[in-house]
Amino acid sequence: MTTGDWVAVMPVKRLGAAKSRLRGAVPAPRHGELALAMVRDTVAAVLAAPAVAELLVVTDDPVAAAAVSALGARVVPDRPAAGLNEAMRYGADEVAGLGRHRAVLAGDLPALRPEQLDAALKDARPGRAFVADAAGSGTVLLAAGPGEPLDPRFGLGSAAAHAASGARALEGDWPGLRQDVDTPADLHTVLGLGAGIHTCALLRDAGLKVACVSAA
């Protein structure tokens, strides 16, 4: 049973346009399926975190919408249709509302563990805070407390941009939270951490010849 008060928000691109730098990791016809599998694993981990009361997925992709709805997420269309930051701001500040604790996450965290997300959200109070990616330059999570606009600055150099905007950098050891997947090398790292069941099943079905140990 959920006991938390956080609303998580996750933007999901149309699958055909997602993860362009990851192309070639699986046969071309399976690329969209890989992107969706990673989204499904991320959604499952977020919804399993006791700190999270609700997950809003902002997407206009009907396949992704059906898949995350089946897992228990609430889907909202990307009404701004103005890119990643506007989708995040819309979901967090308008749909969830400024009166809530809100956290936006990347949708490509297939090794995320619920306990890592819980720990990060605990550390995120009060105000605005962010978790940098494993490389240190990007952002995988941005949190804002009640009354605080989200003010997302995702994109190239987003960690520095979020710090410059006044958000606190969270320093916890959360490898599954920090490791997003933009390239085949990132995917290999995720497999070593322990990817979720959907990503592992897709990779096995696609005939990828690497070890794939599911997340516990």
Q: Name the binding residues for phosphoenolpyruvate.
A: 139, 155, 158
Q: Which residues of 142-155 are buried (b: 16+ CB within 10 A; e: fewer)?
A: bbbbeebebbbbbe
**Encoded amino acid at 111, one letter:** A
Q: Round to whole Å and give the CA distance between 91 and 27.
A: 33
Q: Are the beta carbons of 19 and 37 closer than 8 angstroms?
A: no
Give the β-pairing of 52-59 and 6-12.
Answer: parallel
- Of the candidates 38, 179, 182, 57, which has an alpha carbon nearest to the alpha carbon of residue 110? 38
Place of tokens 């979720």: 196
Binding residues: 139, 155, 158
State how far Cα 46 lies from the chain centre. Answer: 8
